[in-house]
Every structure is written in C-alpha cells, then in structure tokens.
C-alpha cells in the first residue's frame, strides 16, 4: 500500500489543465492546420494538386484552396511542391460547424461556434454520446478512446460515452459509412431521442477519406444524417476532438492555440 501511495506522489497530477491552459507541446511530427502561401503558388503549377490522393487541393482564380474534410494530412503535397507553398502548423483547433467551413485558402478557417442557446441549456453541462464506427479503420476510434484516459479525463466536462443510443444525447461517428453500416447508422440515429447532436470525426466520416466515391461507401455521415460538428484529420488528434466538442458546448472562447515547441508528449 505504501508503495502505491509513493508512486502516486511521484507521478503527481496527470490530468491536463486544458482548456484553461493550452494543450501540451505537440510532437515534432504533429500536423495541424494547413498553411497555404499564395505568393509561392504559380498559376501554372499543379504539383501539389496532382500529388493529393483525395483531391483535397484545387486552384480557382489563381487561389489555392484546400478542403480539410478531404485532407489526410499525409504531406504528399508538401513533398511535391517545389516552392513550399503548402505546409502544416501545429494548430490543433480545426473543427467547424459547417462542411463549407473546412475549405481554406480564399477564406480563413471558420472554427466551430457554440450551440444555439436552447440546445446549450440542454447539453452544456451534460452530454452523453453513442460512438458509431461506420466502417472505420480503428485509428479515429483509438483517438476517441484516448479521451477517457487520465490525461484528458473527458468526464470532468460532463461528457460520457454510453452503450445505448436510447441513453444518448447524440452520436459521434467515425468511418466512411460503408453500405453494410448505412442502415445500422440510420437506426442508431433514429433511436436517439430529440433533440440530438451528430459529430463526424475524421476524414472518412466527413467525406469518405481515401474511400471517396467508392461504390461500397457513402462519402461520410452527412450523406445519410445531418451533422452538427466536423472534426477533420486522419486521424484527428485527441486535442482536436476535445477542442471541437468543447467549442460546441461553449466551453472555449474563440481563441487560436499558441504555437508550441516540439515534444514527445501526446
């Protein structure tokens, strides 16, 4: 027993102070908000566009545009661009309320706003979510599960995952919604009592990800049911998921995370 107490004292307080403080320093390989430098992008060069595996990049009226809902954050574009017009920051705050808000280039990222007051009164202090893996590869699912660990401690915000949709306030969906999961997703959605929320996590749940336009996939959750929050990434960082949900619940003001120095922390 004394050994357990001693180890607990040695480890100290492990839960992050987020959102009162910024997320811990991100590792060097962390890929956050894409940065498009239009001054380095000549109109006759399509190297980054041709390299993108999901056609997330496009050029319109000499403006480079990137759809984060399709982006896999794979850096194929950065490696292909001879001018360095595309790069990735360590800004983890990427979620939006609308699908169109994920398209950046000619406009800045439209970070998620809080729910309407009527819904905020219902869900602001207690939110129960049923997680549905609609054909996911388990990467997004793993980062969602991490939110229950001591570092993130999701339940301290009154947010919990439940086993039954009838006990839930909404759904958190991962995966591209395969044909075999379409009916299951619809039935799960119908089982959640009104009013309800839907959160799409990851490129697959937003657009189909690498399975876009596959005959056995439905290009994301909003092709089947309405979505209230889009969390991009492949997979999105747990900080990105947590930041998006807390913004939806009005727990985070519209601030931009400060750049961090690289670290091995999560």
* pLDDT of 4 higher than 50: yes
- The pLDDT tens digits for 100-159 are 999 999 888 999 999 999 999 999 899 999 999 999 999 999 999 999 999 999 999 999
d(CA 188, CA 186): 5
Distance of CA 13 to the CA centre of its chain: 27
Tell me which residue of 113, 245, 237 sits closest to 172, measured CA to CA: 245
pLDDT recorded at residue 261: 58
* pLDDT of 99 higher than 50: yes
pTM of the model: 0.92
Sheet holding 63-67: strands in order across? 57-60, 63-67, 103-104
* pLDDT of 88 higher than 70: yes
Q: In the Cβ-directed half-sphere of 243, how many Cα atoms lie within 13 Å?
A: 25
d(CA 216, CA 214): 5
Distance of CA 227 to the CA centre of its chain: 13
Domain ranges for the chain, please list them. Answer: 117-248
d(CA 239, CA 201): 12
Tell me which residue of 60, 78, 67 sits closest to 102, measured CA to CA: 67
Token code pair at residue 147: 């939110």
CA distances to 34, 42, 77 from 62, rounded to whole Å, are 18, 8, 17
Mean of per-residue pLDDT scores for the chain: 91
d(CA 145, CA 150): 11
- The pLDDT tens digits for 176-216 are 999 999 999 999 999 999 999 999 999 999 999 999 999 99
Residue that is written with structure tokens 């379409």 in the block: 182
Continuous segment of H or E residues that includes residue 128: strand 127-133
Domain 117-248 falls under CATH 3.40.50.300: no
């Amino acid at each position: 027993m004394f050994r357990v107490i001693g180890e607990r004292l040695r480890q100290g307080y492990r839960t992050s102070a987020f959102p009162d403080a910024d997320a811990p320093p991100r590792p060097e390989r962390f890929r956050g908000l894409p940065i498009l430098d239009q001054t380095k992008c000549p109109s006759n060069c399509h190297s980054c566009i041709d390299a993108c595996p999901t056609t997330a990049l496009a050029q319109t009226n000499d403006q480079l545009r990137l759809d984060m809902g399709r982006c896999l954050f794979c850096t194929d574009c950065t490696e292909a661009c001879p001018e360095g017009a595309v790069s990735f920051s360590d800004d983890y705050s990427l979620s939006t309320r609308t699908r169109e808000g994920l398209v950046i280039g000619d406009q800045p990222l439209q970070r998620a706003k809080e729910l309407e007051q009527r819904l905020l009164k219902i869900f602001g202090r207690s939110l129960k979510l049923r997680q549905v893996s609609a054909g996911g590869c388990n990467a997004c699912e793993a980062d969602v599960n991490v939110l229950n660990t001591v570092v993130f401690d999701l339940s301290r915000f009154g947010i919990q995952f439940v086993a039954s949709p009838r006990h839930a306030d909404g759904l958190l969906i991962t995966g591209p919604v395969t044909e075999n999961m379409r009916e299951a997703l619809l039935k799960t959605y119908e089982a959640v009592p009104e009013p309800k929320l839907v959160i799409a996590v990851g490129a697959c749940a937003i657009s189909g990800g690498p399975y876009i336009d596959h005959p056995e996939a439905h290009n994301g959750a909003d092709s089947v049911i309405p979505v209230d929050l889009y969390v991009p990434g492949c997979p999105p960082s747990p900080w990105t998921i947590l930041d998006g949900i807390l913004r939806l619940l009005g727990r985070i003001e519209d601030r931009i995370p400060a750049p961090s120095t690289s670290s091995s922390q999560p």
